[in-house]
Copies of this chain bind each other. A is one copy, B any other.
Amino acid sequence: MTSERLPAQLAFLREADKLKGILRHSRVTFAARRENDAEHSWHLALAAMILAEYAEPGLDLLRTIEMVLIHDLVEIDAGDTIAYASDAAKAAQAERERAAAERLFGLLPADQGSRLRALFGEFEQRRTREARFARALDRVQPILQNLHSHGAAWRANGVTAQMVRDLNEPIIRDASPALWQRMEGLIAEAEANGCFPAPDAP
């Protein structure tokens, strides 16, 4: 059994290495470079560990962490789309991600491939408390990265404080009112500190 399964599993782990080359719009905080999806996924998993106490009671932390570890793998084929993209761009992206999930999770032994496809679907659908918390963290982490790099990606992409609030409040507050309350405070501070693009003249 090992002799068939293990080579397939190692081939999947080799393919997964490419996640380190998928660049995001957010920056690392200590240098002038964008972060990649593998770094982001690690940071999310660490955040899940550290912030689990703010999730809905009864959270299965292992499944939450597994979800964040694999949630961006589809971007190896489908690429990254900024959270503030148009609905049409997001729909096209979702279709590319479905095909990518088939190919990538299809490298694994069938039982594991099915499990990871289901885990990815759970993350996308946001119906379980684990998926709600994972998706909230996936919004919290880039906000924090942006705050720590003085809004570089927001200003580069014309993203205003109100856009950040409108897009993220439903996802973050739904999973954790305490986390959203803190984010709201930090966004207001960032606004006062000029981290967002200057508003158009009235």
Contact = CB atoms under 8 A, between A and B. Distances in A.
Contacts of A39: 20, 36, 38-39, 42
Contacts of A10: 144, 182
Interface class of chain A by DSSP: helix
Contacts of A84: none
A43 B41 CA distance: 10
Which of A14, A20, A70 has the most chain B CB atoms inside 10 A of its CB? Answer: A20
Nearest to A149: B17
Nearest to A72: B42
Interface in A44-60: 45-47, 49-51, 53-54
Contact of A51 (B9, B14, B28): B9
A100 interface: no
Q: How many copies does the complex hold?
A: 2
Interface residues of A, number: 48
A70 to B, nearest CB: 7
A130 interface: no
Interface in A1-55: 2, 5-7, 9-10, 12-14, 16-21, 28-31, 35-36, 38-39, 41-43, 45-47, 49-51, 53-54
A178 interface: yes
7 contacts: A17-B30, A21-B30, A39-B39, A39-B42, A45-B65, A46-B70, A49-B69
Interface of A: 2, 5-7, 9-10, 12-14, 16-21, 28-31, 35-36, 38-39, 41-43, 45-47, 49-51, 53-54, 61-62, 65-66, 69-70, 108, 112, 144-145, 148, 178-179, 182
